[in-house]
Chain A
Amino acid sequence: MKGLNSLRVAVLLLSALLFQISAQAHTGLQKTTPEADSTIATPPQTIQLVFSGPVRLLKFELLGVGHTMPTEFKANPEPATEFNITTPGMHPGAFTVNWAAMGADGHTLTDTFAFTVAAPTASDAE
């Protein structure tokens, strides 16, 4: 009984210890163009994702406010570190990119980032 109580305490301590360890990312997203949370003047023709290691980009979703934007993304099982996705029909507004990839070690990565395309000003129109 004493041994079992010690074991219970050990397991609880272990659980507490494990949950203090911050998760360390596997292969991750290194850079995007446009940059996350940036505001750009011109609607981008392509969106670029650069990863720290080769990944298989399996999902790329571009959302405007309340609608999905068309892209020329096609999931390819071949791994790469850089992806350039053509985004026709971009316009001023707020956008969100949802992406998902699989690293070389089989771990799945999912994340999201946002950017804004600024509305043209009166001086731009002149």
Chain B
Amino acid sequence: MFSLSGWEVAGLISKLGIYPGIAAALGGPLVLLFYHDGSRRLTRDVLVYIALAGLLAFHSALAYFLIQVGTISGSGVAGMFDWTMINLLLDTPLGDSSLLRLTSFVAMFLLALFYLYRIRELQSPPEQLFYSRLFALLFLCALIAAGSFRSTGHLAVFGNTAQLAIALHLLAFGTWVGALLPLAWLCNSPDIAQLKTNMQRFGAHARFILIVLLAAGIYMLTELLTTPSDLIATPYGFALSIKLALVGLLLLLAARHRWFLVPALGTQEAGLKLQRSIYVELVVALVLLCVTAYFSTMLAPPAGSAMMAL
């Protein structure tokens, strides 16, 4: 039977807090750049969202590192601040990935604050260049944070292709999930025609995001599992199956939006219906992130997988 120690639970929770940072840095600016409804309120709300997600992710990354220090020190909470152990761990891949994450999330938070200040100073709505720059800078932050997953995790011991796959997978998923909350806010817009156009545009872009997400994910599956039967025959594979089922559910929800709810947009009520469905999609995505954090931390790929052959 499975049991989790306090340290393991703390580690899982802190790891979970890292993902929203990457997602918000990708999805938020994407919505502002391509699907903006012209309101200053949306820009402000998305920038606050990015700032808060960056702040959460920064503290989560720091907590995750200190929790590993505490786990190894074995001296309770005080052991988390064992300077000798901190120095030792900074010299490991965990230290490398933690420093990358902390740097990217601080940058993300400061950028969001800076752009919030700028939007307050502007007398008229910002031009497209404003959003392009924001997108480029935050994408860089997210890229650095995603790159940190190369140093740790099951695929860290693989070659460059697998590490590239995980970075792409993370970036694609982060972009999709990170855009959901701003898209839900867009549904409050009184201009339904513009809302419909923006949602259709997102649907078209989302196809490309999905291709990258699924291609990278399938490649990672082939590296982590030895045979398809591992999906039901091993604990890691079983947890992966749960993740795949949730991905399937997300795809169904996305398809429902694309083929039914968005074409039916014509009234405020239809907009609110779409908004509720996007919130459901967000909850499923959060559950999926919990599952991912769990099996990537607590379980190991099956013996005999490409990883174990190294």
Contacts and interface: CB of A to CB of B under 8 A. Distances in A.
A106 B1 CA distance: 25
Interface stretch (A13-21, A43-51, A84-92): A13-21
Contact of A100 (B2, B72, B153, B299): B72
Contact of A110 (B72, B94, B97, B297): B72
On chain A, which size bracket covers the interface? 20 to 34
A18 B2 CA distance: 9
A111 to B, nearest CB: 11
By Cβ-Cβ distance, the 6 closest A-B pairs, closest first, are: A106-B152, A100-B72, A77-B91, A26-B300, A21-B235, A24-B235
A4 B252 CA distance: 16
A107 interface: yes
Contacts of A20: 1-2
B73 interface: yes
A56 to B, nearest CB: 6
Interface stretch (B46-54, B116-124, B209-217, B236-244): B236-244
B251 interface: no
A interface, over-half SS? mixed
B71 interface: yes
Contacts of A25: 300
Contacts of A27: 300
Contact of B236 (A24, A59, A110): A24
Given A23-B299, A105-B152, A14 B74 contact: no
A108 interface: yes
Contacts of B236: 24
A66 interface: no
A114 to B, nearest CB: 16
A106 B151 contact: yes
Contact of B92 (A3, A4, A77): A77
B137 interface: no
Q: Which of B287, B291, B300 has the most CB of A within 10 A?
A: B300
B280 A3 contact: yes
B298 interface: yes
A20 B93 CA distance: 31
Contacts of B91: 77
Contact of A105 (B73, B154, B284): B154
Interface string A9-39: 0010010011111111111000000000000
Contacts of A106: 92-94, 97, 151-153, 156
A75 interface: yes
